[in-house]
Structure 1
Amino acid sequence: MLDKNRLELRRELAPGQVDQLVDLFQQEWWTKGRQKADVERLMRHAGPVFAFVDPLNDELVAFARAMTDGVYKAMIFDIIVKDTWRNTGLGRLLMDTVMTDPVLAGVRHRELYCLEEMVPFYEKWGFTSNLPGLYFMRQAS
């Protein structure tokens, strides 16, 4: 199981960890194909950022980010745990960290989107997919 004291929470990434984040993104369907230049730009505008790093080898093992107005809305993005660290409790630690962050904790609506099989995981933090009358919409360029 996860030794929480082994990992460090970082609120920004070192340049070499941006490369690790790009590699991490290549493992998932929703982030596959992201390019380093775009990820660098994303990191300049993201916040708050949650990055768990194993200090033994400076390895990025989990990541999430959010965008918020600080009052009404916060959207949580890119919740990702490195495949070799899954089923250790790190995903739960990452979500606990995101949900208790002072910037996000007082926001009225915290939102995310996920695959259907992940709904039970996020329900543990009070997320619901039961939103009658609301529709997810996207305009892509």
Structure 2
Amino acid sequence: MTASAFEVSHDVETIPVPQLLELFASAWWAAGRSETETRDLLAGSDVVVSVTDRSSRRLVGFARVLTDRTQLALILDVVAAPDVRGVGIGVMIMDAVLAHPWVSGVRSVELVCQPDLVAFYRRWGFTDEVGQSRLMRRTVRP
């Protein structure tokens, strides 16, 4: 598969929520999200990126961003369908996220990833050396 086999979009209205739920089910952190939660997170996202297989029209990649457009952008839910991992979907997603005008000029772009993906994100200048900062979490629901 080549990059031309896929289409990148920022249009939240064209994201097929049932297919997004399938993508989320393949990622441990997003598995179990409901349709209502997924629709709410789409509505609350400042930037979305979706990648669709041109021939099947199947959603194969997704990410979203929360940003104030000046100081901070937080990239969330970067996920590629398991059967197309390794063909460049993640690269397409990240290139599209970082080129978006609401993200490209932001002072600090941040994301959280698993240790095995640190090298992947380094190609865009991300580092895991963030000084004394620590990720903290408050969970409201189980």
TM score, norm. by length of structure 1: 0.93
Q: Within 2, Cα distance between the matches of 1:131 and 1:4? A: 33
Alignment-mate amino acid for residue 30 of structure 2: T
| 1:14 matched residue in structure 2 | 14
Could you tell which deviates more after superposition, 3-12 or 41-50?
3-12
Distance 2:35 2:54 in 1: 23
Q: Deviations along 1:42-74, whole A, 9 cap, x unmatched?
A: 111112100011132220010000000000000
What pairs up with 1:121-136 in 2 under 5 angstroms?
121-136=120-135
Structure 1: distance between partners of 2:86 and 2:6? 16
Structure 1 vs Structure 2: percent identity of aligned residues? 32
Q: What is residue 59 of structure 1 aligned with on the other side?
A: 58
Verify the 8 A CA contact 2:49 2:63 in the aligned structure 1. Answer: yes
Structure 2 unaligned spans of 5+: none
Structure-2 residue corresponding to 1:79: 78
State the superposition RMSD in angstroms.
1.2
Tell me the secondary structure at the aligned position of residue 91 of structure 1: helix
Partner of 1:108: 107
Instruction: Please state whether the residue corresponding to 2:22 is helix, strand or coil.
Output: helix
Corresponding letter in the other structure for 2:84: W
CA apart distance, 1:28 = 0.9
1:35 matched to 2:52: no
Q: Distance in 2 between matches of 1:72 and 1:121?
A: 24
Q: Is the 8 A contact 2:67 2:73 kept in 1?
A: yes
- Matched residues in 2 for 1:14 and 1:97: separation? 16
Cα offsets for 1:11-61 (capped at 9, x unmatched): 22436x110001110111110110111101111111210001113222001
In 2, Cα distance between the equivalents of 1:98 and 1:115? 19
CA contact (8 A) 1:13 1:51 kept: no
- Unaligned stretches of 5+ in structure 1? none
The corresponding residue for 2:68 is 69
Q: How many residues align?
A: 139
CA distance in 2, matches of 1:65, 1:10: 12
Counterpart AA for 2:14: A
2:72–2:107 contact (8 Å) kept in structure 1:
yes
What is the TM-score normalised by the length of structure 2? 0.92
- Counterpart of 1:45 in structure 2 is 44
